[in-house]
Structures are given as structure tokens and as C-alpha cells.
Amino acid sequence: MIPSASVFRISTSIYRRKLSLLSNVTIGASLALIAVTSPLRASAAPQNEPIRYDAAAHTFRMDAGNVSYVLGVNENGDLQTLYWGKRLGAHDSSPAPRSEGGSGFELAVDTTPHEFVGWGSGLYVVPNLKVTFPDGNRDLVLHYLSHTIHENTLTITLKDIERDVIVDLVYEMDPVTGVLARSARIQNRTKASFTIEEAFAATWNLPGSSDYQLRYLTGRWASEFNLQEQALHPGKIVLESRRGSTGDEVNPWFAIERGVQPDQDTGDVWFGALAWSGSWQINVEQNAANRVRVTGGFTPFDFAYSLKPGQSLETPKFYGGYSNAGIGGASRLLHRFELGSIVPQASDRKIRPILYNSWEATGFDVNESGQEALAEKAASIGVERFVMDDGWFGKRKDDHAGLGDWYVNPQKFPNGLKPLIDKVHTLGMDFGLWVEPEMVNPDSDLYRAHPDWVLKFPGRPRTEGRNQLVLNLARPDVRAYVYGFLDKLLTENDIAFLKWDYNRNWSEPGWPAVPLDQQKGVYVEAVRNLYGILAELRLKHPNVEIESCSGGGARVDLGILRYTDEVWPSDNTDPFDRLRIQDGFSYAYAPGIMMAWVTDSPNWMNNRATSLEYRLLSSMQGGLGIGANLNKWTQEDFTTAKAMIAQYKKLRPTVQNGELYRLISPENGSEYSVTESVSKDGRQAAIFAFLHSSQLRESYPRIYPRGLEEAREYNIRPVVGKLDSSIPQHASGDYWMHHGIEVSLRGDYQGMLFILEKDGSK
Ligand code: GLA
């Protein structure tokens, strides 16, 4: 029986002697000898252990959900991937680890599917780690040293063949979804500092195939989460942010599908997401033999991290998963993982409340009476959380002043926030507030007092974005200030929710206060401090929920999601544009974390006019919010919204936490969009159908739901819109999924919602 923590460690002195042999070919035999002669209790592990070590073959196998991941140490001492994909039979074994390589032009180090490789010997692919030692040596060759297994976590330690550079690779597989978290801890156990120039968390290796399709997400302000699809060919595709934060130009997620599949629910898909909210990079490399490596971590651009003796650097986590149910299955797996294992209080997560936000109604012009009037109207339609947006603090009249001065503006709120918060509570809602903690306007008391608190290069201009500068959160005094004002705000006021905004990217990323060799460490330390502040705040104020916003969706990633309950995907609130943004978003992120507001028509961004019903339907596909100016609503608007919000409340667990099927895509100029959410228990399915514009008498495509139980009876019920009288009121899952449902949407910007429910469902 394997003990809960098994350790296989070769004593350093023996290993050093063995390593000295690495320059000649006998090392393979030496390592094999060590493996065979070591006390390897792990080999007797029962078949149902989540991690199994086979001492004779020197391989590790992880199993969870529908996934197996197998890796091993080859004859050179290199750690290589052996298999990643559909769960293998309990007794299946993988081929033995063996380095691969052909000619003088194709060295083994480049063709062997390394799990984690240093830049050294003759490496041409993206290295996981590249260092410069103080004596000018830049050669790093990492070999297996030891490992430990503790429940779901495997730690494999690598060491350079000569120097005491130690890398712990940590593997943790989610027992439910089989999503594997990988990261690396790089330790300097030498006697002198060295510089890390590149540090990637992990490499995911896929077998050779000439028909891989890559998907990723790109965007810009007001147009986030555009889905890109392209065939992979030999060469390298770089997905990256150099902006100091996650960015909306590319999101740190990818998916690779084998073959062009007939639908969303067929085929092998490997996917990954980087948990980092700073500058990052994911490289997708395909070699001439069509093997694929995906390597992700800190971007090497402008990167240098000095490691003193005894210090270590931890990379972000790079998550990877596999589904054999197509890209649809892959995103459902990722949604389940995010909601079940990433977001705070995952095991006891609250449903997203209906939120009201004042931004589009009042802009910066907030005050006690105006907000109270909106709060009364919001409460009357069933809103549960009232959020006051920008404008409540410092001397904030517009975006030129006030950021950094987090005291309540005495003209707008002469009695502080308490009267408004009390009023909101009396109306049966909780209260939320907008903050942008990492920024400062030059026109602020904070900047006047601490001009050196921002990112800057001495003597150089400071580029402003939205009239603001970025605070250097890597500085301990800035960290203390940011934590301090937020803690005070949350201690002194009954606040249930923070909308945490971040409205520009970095420029002139200098940190002149520390020695030269530490200055580029700002990319790492600022993000660590951000996470640290969020973690401490959550600990001290466990009931406060937080939304990650960055002028829309420029900071959505699995790193920030460990500390935030929801995200704001886009400032673009046009309900038609949103269909596409939400579709792209859903490839990587769960609808349960996606906030969507109903705002005014015509929309401020594109002047498009749509009905309130259409706007509500578009937003009901995630966490529903209202951001309209309720002072302008008619009685009919209030009646419509109240009725639809009441309907939404009945089906929101299905929409937020259920399984999402993208039935008809709004991508590529499609006139249609259909999504289906199936509840966790399979009893309810909510189907949203949208029509952009009727053209040339074309009829609406027939809708084929998915994910229903074939033999069970489901009733159909329209919530918004009418169903044709020819549609039976109840039929089997098979009937709905294979006969399909005809709807007759006509006109422009039309939408409908109907529900399939198992007999006996409420
Ligand atoms: C950003 C956010 C908006 C709003 C404004 C306030 O643009 O994305 O929702 O909060 O800031 O200035």
C-alpha cells in the first residue's frame, strides 16, 4: 500500500557523482540502476490511486475524471510526456520513456517531448527556464532528481547536471474534471545570485498530427473575446500580453482540436489556461514532424528576475484539460472546474444576485438623493444588489481627478455613505461600490504627496492613459496603502460587493527604488501583491464579493478568478454585440461568472435600438444586471422587467451553474444565435434563441437541443415568445434532440426563451 506521502529521493552526493557521468552515454544505465536499486514502495500502488509511480519503468500516471496523464524519466534523466488524453484502462501501460532524435540537425533535446526543459545544450524550442550565471555561463540542463506524491499532488524535482539550480515541478489533478494544474518553483541553491531570463510554468505536449485546429480569443476595448480559429502548421504562434496585466488583446486560454469536427460535441480537444494577471505568454509550437508543444508562463519580453542564494521564484499555474466530447465538452469541463475549484467559496458558491449598477445612468454624477431614487426603482423590479459606480470619492467630477483619494466626496455625500447604504438595505438589497485601487490621477492628493509611487523611469515622461498613472504595487508602501484604504472602507461601511476596476495598461514600467538587478521584478511582484491584497481582504471580510473589471474584460483569467466571484466581460452593453462577446467568453469562462447588464436603448455605443425584452433575454444568459437609467423608464418597462426578472430567478441556477451547449453560433456574421443551458440534475433546459434580421424569407433554423436524457419525457414551455401550435407539449428527450424544434422568429432583433422540463419538475 502506498503511504499518503511517498518520497523517492536520491541523496545529492550520490546523484552528483552520477551526474558527472552525464557527459557520456553511460548515464542512462546509471539512472536505471538507481531506480531499480532504490526502495520503491510506490510501485505497489493500487490501481485506483490518483497518482501511480511505476518504479521499474520510472513513470508516473495520473488519472481523474475522464483523463489520464502519463510522464516518465528517460535514459538521459530527462522528464518527458508519455500520454495526455482519454482515460486509459487501469492496467494499460505506456511505452517506456525514451529520448527521441535523429540527425545532427535534430538533436534529441529538441525532439523529445520534454515536460520542462532548461535552455542549454542544443535547445531551439521555447525553453521553460533560461538563466545567466554570474560567471557568464548560460547552459542549463535539468535532470530528474527525486519526487514526492501526496494525495492528488505530484512534485518532481529536477536539478542542473552541475550547479545547484533546483526546479520543483508541481502537478495537481482535479479529481472531478481531470484538469491538471502545473507550475514550477525555481530555487537558487548555488552560492551566488543568477538571473532568470525566461520562466514558463509548463509545456503541454501533443502527439504528431497534421490536422490540429487552434482556437484562441482576441479583442480590444468594447470588442472582447473574439473567437479565432486556425489550422496549425509547423512554426510558432505566440499569444501574449506585454501590458503588465492580462489584457484584452489576447486572453490566456487556448484549445486545440484534432481534425475539423462536424459539431461542437465531437472529437478530441486539449485546452489550457494560464492563471496569471500580469504580462504572460503562451507559445504554440509545431515542429516538422507535426508534434505540438504549448509552453506558457511569464512573457520573456522585458523580463529578468534576480534570484539570490536561497531564494526561489514560483511560476503561475498553467492549467490543462482534455475532453473527447469536442470543444463544447471542453468548455463545459472548464466551466465546471472554474465554478467547482477556482472561484472563492467554490464549494459553497452563492448564485449571482440581480444587480443594479449606476454607471450608464448617472456617469460620475452620483449623489445621495439621485442614487436613492434609482435604488427605489431598482428594488421595485426585483434587484437584489445595488452598486454605486465611479464618482463617489475624492474630487471626482470626471476622469481627470480623484483616483487615489478614497475618501467619500463631502459635497455629494455630506453624511458619508451610511444613509445611502441604510436606504438600500431598507429596500431589501445589499450594497456594492466601485473602486479602482491600483491607479492614481496626477490631479489627486495621493499623487501630490507621493509622486514616486507610480511606475516610472526617472527623468522620463510618464504616459497617461485615461488621465491616470499606474501605481507601483510592487512597492511595500503602495501595497500597504491600497490594502489599508480598502480594509477601512469595508470595516466602516456595510459593503457586500466591490467592483474592482483597472482602466489602463502599463507604460514606462520602471521601479527605480530598488537595486538595478531587481527592477524588472516589478512584473512579478506587483501581481503577487495584488493577489496578496485580495487574499487578505477576503480573509478579513469573508462576506464581501468582488468583481474583476478592467474597462470591460481586460482582466479575466484563472489567476484573478481565485480571488473574485464574477467578471465584467465588456463595456459594450449593446445586446446584439453582446451575443458574440458572450459566445467567445463561454469558450473559456463559465456563464456563472459573467455579468451582463440591460442598459438603455438606443445603446450609447452604437446607437442601436432594441426592445427591452430582447435586451433582457441577451443578458439573462449570464449573471443578470440592470444598468439602465430607470428614471426614464415607462410603467410598461417596469412591468416587463419585473416579470422577466421573476422568470429569470426561477431558472438562474440552470443558466449560471448548468451545462452550456452552443447550439447555433452568432460568429461569422450569423443571423442567428441559440444557446441551451441544462441544469446540473438534467431536469431543466433553458433555450435562448435570437434573430438578427429576417432576410429573403429564410426560415429560422430548426433547433436541436442536446444533453437531455433520451428516454425521459420533457414538457416544453415558452417563457418569452410563442411556440408554434404544431409543437407537442411534451415528448421524449430523443424527440426534442432528434426531431428538433421549429421556431418562427421574424423581424429584426427578435428573441425568445423556452424551457424543457422533466415531468414532475417545478
Ligand atoms: C470602466 C468600467 C465601467 C465603469 C467605468 C467608470 O470603464 O468598465 O463599467 O465602471 O470604468 O469609470
> Residue 45: is its pLDDT beyond 60?
no
Mean pLDDT along residues 699-713: 97
Q: Does residue 3 carry a pLDDT above 90?
A: no
The interaxial angle of helices 635-657 and 368-380, nearest 10 deg, is 70
Decide if pLDDT at 42 tops 70. Answer: no
Atom of ligand 1 nearest to the CA of 550: 8
The predicted structure's pLDDT at residue 104: 84
Is the per-residue pLDDT at 30 higher than 50? no
At 195, the pLDDT band (50, 70, 90 cuts) reads: very high
Q: Is the pLDDT of residue 40 over 90?
A: no
Q: Is the pLDDT of residue 6 over 80?
A: no
Give the active site residues.
501, 571
Q: Record the cell numbers describing residue 17, joined without a space.
A: 557523482
Q: How remote is the CA of residue 551 from the centroid of ligand 1, in Å?
A: 5
pLDDT digit string, tens, across residues 311-369: 999 999 999 999 999 999 999 999 999 999 999 988 788 999 999 999 999 999 999 99
Q: In the predicted model, what is the mean pLDDT of residues 257-276? A: 96
Return left, alpha or beta for 459; rule: phi > 0 is left, psi -120 to 50 is alpha, else beta: left
Give the residue, by CA position, lying nearest to ligand 1 atom 8. 551
Cβ 174 under 6 angstroms from ligand 1? no
Is the predicted pLDDT of residue 474 greater than 50, yes or no? yes
| Residue whose CA lies nearest to ligand 1 atom number 4 | 359
pLDDT reported for residue 48: 73
For range 28-32, the mean pLDDT: 29
Q: Which of 359, 441, 466 to mutate to test the pocket of ligand 1 (most atoms within 8 A of CB)?
A: 359
Average pLDDT, the chain: 93
Mean pLDDT score, 439-466 = 98
Residues of the chain with pLDDT > 70, as a percent, come to 93
pLDDT in tens, 480-534: 999 999 999 999 999 999 999 999 999 999 999 999 999 999 999 999 999 999 9
pLDDT digits (tens, 9 = 90+) for 147-186: 999 999 999 999 999 999 999 999 999 999 999 999 999 9
Overall average pLDDT of the 191-196 stretch: 98
Q: What is the pLDDT of residue 345?
A: 85
Residue 12 has pLDDT above 70, yes or no: no
pLDDT reported for residue 761: 57
Report the pLDDT value the prediction gives residue 47, as an integer from 0 to 100.
Answer: 66
Average pLDDT over residues 275-279: 98
Residue 38 has pLDDT above 80, yes or no: no
Shortest-distance atom of ligand 1 to CA 568: 8
pLDDT at position 105, please? 87
**Are 294 and 272 within 8 A, CB to CB?**
yes
Are 464 and 453 within 8 A, CB to CB? no
Q: Whose CA is nearest to atom 11 of ligand 1?
A: 551
Could you tell me which of 447, 431, 359 has the C-alpha nearest to residue 395?
A: 447
| Polymer length in residues for the chain | 762
**How far does the centroid of ligand 1 lie from the alpha carbon of residue 417, in Å?**
20
Ligand 1 center to 623 CA (angstroms): 18
What's the pLDDT at 101?
Answer: 80
- The grid coordinates of residue 44 equal 505497489
Which cell is 353 given? 444576485
Which residue, 626, 749, 608, is CA-closest to 689? Answer: 749
* CA 546 – CA 565 distance, rounded (Å): 6
Please give the average per-residue pLDDT across 728-740, as a whole number: 97
pLDDT surpasses 90 at 725: yes
CB of 551 shorter than 6 A to ligand 1: yes
Distance CA 133, CA 684 (A): 61
pLDDT by residue (tens digit) across 111-126? 999 999 999 999 999 9
CA-to-CA distance for 521 and 314, rounded, in angstroms?
12
Higher pLDDT, 68 or 4: 68
Test site for ligand 1: of 433, 571, 573, most ligand atoms within 8 A of the Cβ? 571
- Residue 233, pLDDT score: 97
Distance 390 CA to ligand 1 centre (A): 7
* Residue 434, ligand 1, Cβ within 6 A: yes
571 lines ligand 1 (CB under 6 A): yes
Ligand 1 site, residue 441, Cβ cutoff 6 A: no
pLDDT one-digit tens code per residue, 412-429: 999 999 999 999 999 999
Q: What percentage of the chain reaches a pLDDT higher than 90? A: 91
pTM score, whole prediction: 0.94
Residue 388 has a pLDDT of: 98
Give the mean pLDDT of 573-590: 98
Output the pLDDT for position 237.
98
Residue in 109, 139, 145, 113 with CA at minimum distance from that of residue 124: 109
